[in-house]
């Protein structure tokens, strides 16, 4: 009989290989703040946008790594509501990346049975960006593998404000009373309502901040930071973060 916890699996041809997907304690949901693209470019004497383009290559690399590890949800912070403050040409370049990424990678994502999703506001995004992401979501909607969730024009406090407005509106309408409000109701009014909370947050490029990213959802997540710039972040670094996660005991504050 196959032992569910066995880390080794025998294949039909008799060879035995490590079966990472069944290895213990793989984080179900990994979220990543993909920082350091501009710094990577500056260090190489290149324009910032060259860093963004290089960072896009890392996105498909790490998607493959997450898929192969058996991660269920990979959330990538691609554009924050604060990023609008950047120079117009840089913002314009960034807004073209979803379309470029999907034009070159959607076939592989389909082959891998990956489902593309987005959190964040479509408001203020150029229509070509919205259309590219919508088409990818539609095309992959029936895929049942890894959920590749892009946080695009996302800000956590705005998300929480919207949730509170929704809930308060329902209270005002008499749908329920103030005392019915609990954590699960708040969860259900966030954009991530149909996703598990991240088990692991990775942030690249040495910054040790959450920067308005999934503040509610990260309450119990393990945090893993690296000085590596996002364009240099590799499958090996990703696997290192997973291994660190596997080694930490998750006690949720219990006194054991």
* Whether 153 contacts 124, CB under 8 Å: yes
Helix (H, G, I), strand (E, B) or coil at 224: strand
Whichever of 3 and 194 has its CB closer to ligand V07, that residue is: 194
Cβ-proximal residues to 2 (8 Å cutoff; 6+ apart), any chain: 9
Backbone angles phi, psi at 10, to 5 degrees: -90, 130
Can residue 146 be called a binding residue for ligand V07 (CB under 6 A)?
Answer: no
Q: Which of 19, 20, 83, 239 is catalytic?
A: 83
Helix (H, G, I), strand (E, B) or coil at 9: strand
**Interface residues for ligand V07 in 149-168 (CB under 6 A)?**
150, 152
Whichever of 153 and 221 has its CB closer to ligand V07, that residue is: 153
Backbone angles phi, psi at 31, to 5 degrees: -115, 145
# of chain residues touching ligand V07 (CB under 6 A): 20
Query: Strand order of the sheet with strand 73-80?
Result: 115-119, 147-154, 73-80, 29-33, 200-203, 222-225
Indicate if 143 belongs to the active site: no
Can residue 203 be called a binding residue for ligand V07 (CB under 6 A)?
Answer: no
Can residue 50 be called a binding residue for ligand V07 (CB under 6 A)?
Answer: no
x-or-dash string of contact with ligand V07, 60-89, rule CB under 6 A: ------------------xx----------
Nearest to 243 by CA among 226, 220, 218: 226
Indicate if 83 belongs to the active site: yes
Whichever of 59 and 242 has its CB closer to ligand V07, that residue is: 59
Catalog residues that contact ligand V07 under the rule CB under 6 A: 34, 37, 52, 55-56, 59, 78-79, 94, 97-98, 101-102, 116, 118, 133, 136, 150, 152, 230
């Amino acid at each position: 009989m196959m032992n569910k916890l066995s880390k080794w699996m025998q294949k039909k041809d008799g060879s035995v290989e490590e079966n990472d997907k069944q290895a213990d304690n793989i984080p179900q949901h990994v979220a990543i703040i993909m920082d350091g693209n501009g710094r990577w470019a500056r260090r190489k004497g290149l324009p910032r946008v060259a860093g963004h383009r290089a960072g896009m290559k890392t996105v498909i690399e790490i998607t493959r790594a997450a898929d192969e590890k058996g991660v269920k949800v990979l959330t990538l912070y691609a554009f924050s509501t604060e990023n609008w403050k950047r120079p117009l040409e840089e913002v314009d370049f960034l807004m073209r990346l979803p379309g470029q990424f999907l034009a070159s990678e959607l076939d592989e994502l389909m082959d891998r049975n990956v489902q593309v999703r987005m959190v964040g506001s479509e408001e203020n995004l150029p229509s070509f960006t919205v259309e590219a992401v919508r088409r990818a979501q539609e095309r992959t909607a029936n895929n049942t593998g890894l959920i590749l969730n892009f946080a695009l024009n996302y800000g956590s406090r705005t998300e929480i404000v919207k949730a509170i407005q929704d809930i308060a509106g329902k209270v005002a309408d008499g749908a329920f009373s103030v005392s019915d409000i609990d954590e699960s109701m708040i969860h259900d009014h966030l954009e991530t309502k149909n996703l598990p909370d991240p088990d692991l947050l990775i942030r690249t490029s040495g910054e040790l901040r959450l920067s308005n990213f999934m503040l509610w959802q990260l309450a119990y997540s393990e945090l893993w930071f690296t000085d590596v710039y996002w364009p240099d972040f590799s499958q090996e670094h990703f696997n290192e973060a997973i291994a660190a996660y596997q080694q930490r005991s998750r006690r949720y504050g219990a006194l054991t």
